[in-house]
Amino acid sequence: PRRIEAQRRACTSMADQKLTAVVLGASGSVGQALCKALGQCGKYGHLISINRAKELKWMDDLPLKSTQVVVSREDMSNHERLREITAKTCAEHKPTIGFSTLGIGTKTGSITKEQHRAVDVETNRAFALGCANSKLVSTFVFLSSVAADPTVDENGSGTAGGSRYLRVKGESEEAVKGSGIPTVRIFQPAMIAGSSNTPCILECMEPCCWCLCLWCCVPLRYHGIQIDDLGMAMALAGLASEPKGNSNFEYPEMMKLLEQA
């Protein structure tokens, strides 16, 4: 509680007026953590969530105004239609910050490359383009993965950490960076503790494994992060005035955001 209060004060000091944010992917574990962090952070006054097929009941309990735009499964899969819906939503509610935590969270190894790209790359591209077309969203915070790389072998494993997985994540980064939004901040976490997509056994093993990794001089970027810390770091990144342009946030940069709180 003390840390959350300190982070709330930091949010309050980083901006002078209540801000409006638009979010894609709120139904996922990280998306929910992000929305809760936006509520805890005293400078966000209005959250707009673009949802696939249904409303999220827990949003009614957030300590800020929330608007849910429910998009049919067909329109969510029609990327031009999603771009239009996003642009129209932004024009109506005037958000200045966009967030996306959308991605296929589980069983990525059992789907085709085309199915993986359709969601992680093209759906995020459509959302980012809609935000850009509105001319209102100037900062975009995007959830990707540590070691994402659009140049690695696309024919490798599609499971988390596999080459195809990292290729698709890298392509999704390029898609949102190419949308035309002035400032894009890419979050590249390793293991996310508390996510429904992270097996409990890995969460239990992570502290011991990390001690071994430190001994072996494994880069700090591969350190796991608690899901609530990740959500708060993304909320804080939406408020920060620097850096401008495109930038990546790995574990050290995420911790720096939280430590400044």
What pLDDT does 167 receive?
97
Give the pLDDT of the chain (261 residues) as one tens digit per residue. 556 666 666 665 554 579 999 999 999 999 999 999 999 999 999 999 999 999 999 999 999 999 999 999 999 999 999 999 999 999 999 999 999 999 997 788 889 999 999 999 999 999 999 999 999 999 999 999 999 999 999 998 889 889 999 999 999 999 999 999 999 999 999 999 976 555 444 445 555 554 555 546 678 899 999 999 999 999 999 999 999 999 999 999 999 999 987
The answer to whether residues 22 and 122 touch, using CB atoms and an 8 Å cutoff, is: no
What pLDDT does 209 receive?
52
What pLDDT does 19 receive?
98
List the chain domain ranges: 2-259
Q: Which residue type, as a one-letter code, is found at position 132?
A: A
What pLDDT does 105 receive?
77
Q: What is the pTM of this model?
A: 0.88
Rounded distance, CA 172 to CA 167, Å? Answer: 9
Architecture of domain 2-259: 3-Layer(aba) Sandwich (3.40)
Rounded distance, CA 98 to CA 84, Å? Answer: 15
The answer to whether residues 139 and 185 touch, using CB atoms and an 8 Å cutoff, is: yes
Rounded distance, CA 167 to CA 151, Å? Answer: 6
